Structure 1
Amino acid sequence: MTGDGTLRVLSTSDLAGIEISPPDVVSVVEQACRALAAGHSDNPRKLTVKPDDGHSVAYAMLGRDGVRQVVAVKTSYKHGLREERDRQHYYTTLTLYDDRTGLPVAMMDCGRIGALRTPAVSALLARELAAPGSRTALVVGTGTQGRLALPFLLTTLPGLERLMVFGTHPDGIRAVCERVGAEVVTDLRKAAGEADIVIAAAGPGTPAAVEDSWLKPGALTVLVGYGVAPSTLHRADRVVATSAAQMRVTGTDLADPDGRLRDVDAELPAVLAGRAAGRTDPGQRIFAYNSGLVVTDIALGHRFAQLALAQGLGTAVPLWR
């Protein structure tokens, strides 16, 4: 954060060793959402570029955290969407600027930021929207988001008693079980019918597709990636999204045959701030769409940058010399 034309670059390895707990992440993310609801921050709709053949997708997101006084740009690019996971290329970066001094803060790999921010948002959605007395949760998927979903969920809902996981990758299944002692299920329909909370965090190649008719009354479905059928959205009693505008951009795979999505009844920031109702009846089946908010990336990225710079991490690049 100097005025000499240098930019501090924080790599994947720089950020990997920084310790931060799920409760800390949830707190930072919730603060960012509340600031947005209060009108202190800006979170414009993301821009998307995708070729006709669908082999890649790129996003650009600009935002401003009014509490931290930070402006940032996040970019995300994934190539090889139809390839196996180990053959895909994925790059995401976050560049932060101090809006008080006008100086750059840092540019960083945003992989870990997004990996932590997303389950924190799901945990907040669950805390606000799960039916009273919820005790059972099912996570569909065992990739990065599947592995982190339950530890974060336990942060906001420590009263959960039964944790289930459905996945297809042995290493991922083993990682989830070792971390939280989850029960591995193979009958997805039965497990979904017993769950109070279903978090769909699988990758695009998953065979899982939980239908609305499988869900019990009062169930909450949180969609992070894949793993549920469009019926869970279209037949829900209530729909909550982190951002209705972003859902219209990234949720097109859930559209009905006429290309339409269900209207969003409330957005998470407004629910957290008490300006909109989340659940209005214990028996409602609620669909929640977690598409992420760039202001949460900014807040968490800024926190990581503070910790990294305090430890002398990163590389100073003379970008503007």
Structure 2
Amino acid sequence: MSDTPTAPADAPVSVDAPISADTPASGGTAVSGDDTSLRILSTTDLAGIDISPADVVATVEDAYRTLHSGLSDNPRKLTVKPPDGHSVSYAMLGRDGSRDVVAIKTSYKHGLDKGRDAQHYYTSLTLYDDVTGLPVAMMDCSRIGSLRTPAVSALLARECAAPGARNALVIGTGTQGRLALPFLLTTLPELDRLMLYGTHPDGIAAVREQLRAHFPDRDVEIVTDLSAAASDADVIVATAGAHTPAAVEADWLKPGALSVLVGHGLAPSTLHRADRIIATSEAQMNVTGTDMADAHGELPPVDAEFPPVIAGDAVGRRSATERIFAYNSGLVVTDIALGHRFAQLALERGLGTEVPLWR
């Protein structure tokens, strides 16, 4: 699953307009200033920067290709969780070789034993220019994660969906569910039936709003029979929260179905009975995917990781009929790439606050 927990209901998710064509998807070092100050980019600063799904997908894809080429580093994340499971913390360090940027991401969520309104979630990304040695920026990472994750799901769908896929089902109406369809249509524009399984009226309305913002002529079909919808779907993206009653079983899936797990909504059988398993990172799947383990606490081995699939050095799908399970766990190099893109745009616009941190 994504290392980024579901963002608060009021987190900014708009991706309304594309960046100007002369803004590069990679490279172009953004430097904050000197070695005594750090530019802080707040949630509000980042919310004012518009970026299209196509631009996000291109940036994330470039990060995967650079990682596979050996130019980037993405070590295994560190995880801390108390015995009662009321909170979870992650720390991730990485280096983007095409941008020459080093970054540290932290993520902390408290109240996992409570409803969404009672939870607290904080995530940040700190970027350093590895050419000059100067800091770039420290930013709230919630919007970065909210955009990066559906972009990865869309790339997984592009590479692993069966030929001629037409029907897509999204499970969940939180931040990831709201953005899933615009990104899926960006990489699979031939999708013609868009289905949504959700239980929150406000979330359903937000899914429709986001879809129409990018694809005004498209609408989503609200489904209540999850088994029937899953049996019709060529692509399933499960983004629901931990307390969802939704759990698609392997027996419901049609031949050739692709199931992408982002949050919750898929039963462990979809993983253990899959014909092929793709993961963004097998090591991270073994850390964050333990809820999908079998009765013995085991996870099956991964057939291929996604970076070599993106680069064309591994096969995503081998036949039109195999059922594929794809595990979308965030890689910090994708956060770095997208965070650097936002930092460039923010600095061009003079956004953020300079803090004399090291004086």
User: CA offsets, 1:240-298, max 9 Å, x none?
Assistant: 00001100000000011111101000111100111111100110000000011100000
CA–CA distance in 2 between the matches of 1:24 and 1:12? 20
User: Which position in structure 1 is the counterpart of 2:256?
Assistant: 218
User: Which position in structure 2 is the counterpart of 1:289?
Assistant: 327
User: Which position in structure 2 is the counterpart of 1:35?
Assistant: 66
Residue 341 of structure 2 is aligned to residue 310 of structure 1: no
Kindly state the Cα deviation for residue 215 of structure 1 after the two structures are TM-superposed: 0.5
Matches within 5 A, 1:84-123: 84-123=115-154
Identify unmatched segments of 5+ residues in structure 2: 1-31, 212-218
User: Which position in structure 2 is the counterpart of 1:145?
Assistant: 176
User: CA offsets, 1:118-165, max 9 Å, x none?
Assistant: 000000000000000000000000000000000000000000000000
1:176 to 201, 204, 207: 207
Percent of aligned pairs sharing the same letter? 74
User: CA offsets, 1:39-71, max 9 Å, x none?
Assistant: 010001100000000000000000000000000
Kindly state the Cα deviation for residue 179 of structure 1 after the two structures are TM-superposed: 3.5
2:230 to 192, 196, 216: 192
Kindly state the Cα deviation for residue 4 of structure 1 after the two structures are TM-superposed: 4.4
Question: Is residue 177–residue 183 contact of structure 1 (8 Å, CA) maintained in 2?
Answer: no
Identify unmatched segments of 5+ residues in structure 1: none
Residue 339 of structure 2 is aligned to residue 301 of structure 1: yes
CA–CA distance in 2 between the matches of 1:218 and 1:28? 28
TM-score normalized with structure 1 length: 0.99
CA–CA distance in 1 between the matches of 2:34 and 2:349? 20
Give 4+ residue runs of structure 1 displaced > 4 Å after superposition.
none
User: CA offsets, 1:1-39, max 9 Å, x none?
Assistant: 222400000000000010100000000000000000110
Give 1:245's aligned amino acid.
Answer: A
CA–CA distance in 2 between the matches of 1:82 and 1:134? 38
Kindly state the Cα deviation for residue 175 of structure 1 after the two structures are TM-superposed: 1.7
Q: CA RMSD in A?
A: 0.6
CA–CA distance in 2 between the matches of 1:79 and 1:89? 5
CA–CA distance in 2 between the matches of 1:209 and 1:191? 12
Kindly state the Cα deviation for residue 204 of structure 1 after the two structures are TM-superposed: 0.6
Give 1:189's aligned amino acid.
Answer: S
User: CA offsets, 1:189-235, max 9 Å, x none?
Assistant: 00000000000000111110000000000000000000010000000
Kindly state the Cα deviation for residue 319 of structure 1 after the two structures are TM-superposed: 0.5
User: Which position in structure 1 is the counterpart of 2:303?
Assistant: 265
Q: How many residues align?
A: 321
1:159 to 176, 181, 190: 190
Residue 164 of structure 2 is aligned to residue 126 of structure 1: no
Evaluate the alpha carbon distance shift between residue 227 and residue 54 of structure 1 in structure 2; reply closer, same or farther with a 3 A threshold.
Answer: same
CA–CA distance in 1 between the matches of 2:35 and 2:226? 57
TM-score normalized with structure 2 length: 0.89
